[in-house]
Amino acid sequence: MLIEKIKDNFNKRYEFRNKEHTIENIMFENVRELGRCLSGKPKSLEFEILDIVISGNDTNDFRDRIMSIDPDERKALKINKSTLWYQKKKIKEGKNIKLYKKTKVRIE
């Protein structure tokens, strides 16, 4: 479960050297810095390690809320019929769910 959350958050953008970068780019820059140090160009090596917060939007309360939505409530919340159907299907299969921000706000 933790690995799936890391995968979901891997493309999230974080501030690194006054710009927004993905974790992939940050790791690439740190490896590049290591390469420069091994070749002897700079005399010191500094890795920049970020405090990364792993977030997920599929808590048990949230899953229960999705499963309890009936068709009339879905219409009132302005949630697409297929969106709700697929999310319920994923929950029944025990898979992780992903929701766009606007849908998540409507469900909460």
- When pLDDT is cut at 50, 70 and 90, the band that residue 100 belongs to is confident
Q: What is the mean pLDDT of residues 5-21?
A: 75
For the stretch 57-95, pLDDT in tens is 557 778 888 899 998 998 998 888 998 899 899 889 888
**Residue 104 contacts by C-beta under 8 Å, 6 or more apart in sequence?**
57
Residue ranges covered by each domain of the chain: 1-55, 60-107
- Biggest alpha carbon distance in the chain? 67
For the stretch 16-50, pLDDT in tens is 788 888 878 888 888 888 888 888 777 677 766 66
Q: Which residues is 22 bridged to in the sheet? A: 13
